[in-house]
Amino acid sequence: MIVGFLNQKGGVGKTTLSVNVAASLARRGGRVLLIDADPQGSSLDWAAAREAAPLLSVAGLPRPTLHKEIGQIGYGYDHVVIDGPPRVTDLARSAVMAADVVLIPTQPSPYDIWASDEVVKLIGEAIVFKEDLKYAFVINRKISNTSIGRDVREALAAYPDVPVFESSLTQRVIFAEAAARGLSVHEVDGAVRAVSEIEALTDELLEFAKLKEPA
Ligand SMILES: Nc1ncnc2c1ncn2[C@@H]1O[C@H](COP(=O)(O)OP(=O)(O)OP(=O)(O)O)[C@@H](O)[C@H]1O
Ligand SMILES: [Mg+2]
């Protein structure tokens, strides 16, 4: 499976979800390649901050030709996870074209959801060439013990063709703390709830990727 965490809106959790889902897939025994398609190199920074033994391979490939190279680059891996760039449209377009599944991290505010317009448009363009492309929103930074508000549901309804994952991630300092040390949440103490959110997301992603019909 090739999954891209993509959204040109900055700071929505592309890197956080990429490294933790990649780690989850690796812990399940798969050979995993994490591609940093962001010129800022955040996933590379994550890998560089790491003192523990590597969990997975990380490669920096912020290139608009990623979709042409992905077959060769991803050869021999069970899963490829692409951490997408903010802003740069040609890189994001190439990452969409490279992916089997695009997950769009978004924060649970209508403004953040509406700011996903650009990536939704890129998906619409890509689907002409890739009928099987699957895509969905993933809510990140939910405030603990709150339900998704009505305004958020209304904003999501602006994209009737884009499903929303059941699983979501809560706002938790431990995501930032683990990232600063180049670790996934599985590897830090006291992250039981963060781990169960990442595991639920990864389970849902694996099921979603198997669906025959585009959702
Ligand atoms: N669920 C969360 N709980 C707490 N902090 C979070 C969560 N998700 C992301 N963050 C923090 O928010 C910041 C932005 O997250 P992240 O870097 O993953 O976003 P991004 O979409 O990759 O950003 P960019 O567009 O700059 O690449 C980071 O400091 C990260 O640690
Ligand atoms: Mg990032």
- 101-115 tens-digit pLDDT: 999 999 999 999 999
Q: Domains in the chain, please, with CATH? A: 2-209 (3.40.50.300)
pLDDT value, residue 94: 97
pLDDT value, residue 214: 47
Helices (H), 55-212: 66-73, 89-98, 110-114, 117-126, 150-156, 173-180, 192-210
pTM equals: 0.96
pLDDT value, residue 153: 85
User: How far does residue 35's CA lie from ligand 2's centre (Å)?
Assistant: 11
Q: Which residues line ligand 1 (CB under 6 A)?
A: 10-16, 38, 42, 86, 140-141, 169, 171-172, 175-176, 179
> What is the token pair recorded at 27?
């812990």
Which residues of the chain are modeled with pLDDT < 70?
213-215
pLDDT value, residue 213: 62
